[in-house]
Structure 1
Amino acid sequence: MSVDTAAIRRIAKLARIHVEEEALPGLAAEFNGILQWIEQLQQVDTSGVEPMAGGGATALRWRADEVTDGAQAERVLANAPEREGEYFSVPKVVE
């Protein structure tokens, strides 16, 4: 696969970015380099290699859906500039 300056111009338009006309050939060369790397990676034989994460029989561990206060009120409020009991104290903003 090869990308020419017309394709770069269209990609820039779709991305809504301004690309100077003299920068188009350089961007086309960079895109083509990236595509060559992708083609090279596609040639690697990965049969027999198990995925490291995110594939196959990997499942998320479920936990109980319980509402808690986090049990860290003191740690959270330790940085509060002002507090009243277990609450942040803030100035009144509605008259």
Structure 2
Amino acid sequence: MSEITREQVQHLAGLARIALTEAEIDTMTSELGHIVDSVAKVREVATDDVPATSHPIPLVNVFRPDVVGETLTAEQALSGAPDHDGSRFRVSAILGEEQ
């Protein structure tokens, strides 16, 4: 089994700003270890004669013309906002002091 540590899970949770309980850390440590092991097994089986794919069925993008339609005025867009300065939405900061 791959060696994913509790410290690594705690570090990743901190980067993602996800609060995890001790039980969740234990669960995630085990689950992430299984995921890494599964990827390693696939790498063992993958051969050079099998092309890499991102999807089992070929996909094609469907494009449409980019046509300007009716849009909201700034006043209409801001009418339901909890806080604004007359021309922009006002929101609280999302970055911590370490940023």
Instruction: State the percentage of identical aligned residues.
Output: 20
Post-superposition offset of 1:29: 0.3
1:6-25 pair list within 5 angstroms: 6-25=7-26
Q: TM-score, normalised by structure 1?
A: 0.50
SS of equivalent residue, structure 1 residue 10: helix
Q: Which amino acid aligns with 1:26?
A: T
In 2, Cα distance between equivalents of 1:53 and 1:6:
32
SS of equivalent residue, structure 1 residue 32: helix
- Alignment RMSD: 3.4
Structure having the higher strand fraction is 1
Post-superposition offset of 1:6: 0.8
Q: Which amino acid aligns with 2:42?
A: L
Cα separation, partners in 2 of 1:42 and 1:23, compared to 1, 3 Å:
same
Which 10-residue stretch deviates more, 31-40 or 1-10? 1-10
Q: Which runs of 4+ in 1 moved over 3 A?
A: 50-54
Q: TM-score, normalised by structure 2?
A: 0.49
* Runs of at least 5 residues in structure 2 that lack an aligned partner in the other structure: 56-64, 77-99
CA displacement, residues 30-54 of structure 1 (integer Å, 9 cap, x when unaligned): 0000000000011113222234579
Which 10-residue stretch deviates more, 43-52 or 33-42? 43-52
Q: Which residue number corresponds to residue 29 of structure 1? A: 30
In 1, Cα distance between equivalents of 2:25 and 2:4:
11
* Runs of at least 5 residues in structure 1 that lack an aligned partner in the other structure: 55-67, 71-87
- Equivalenced residue count is 62
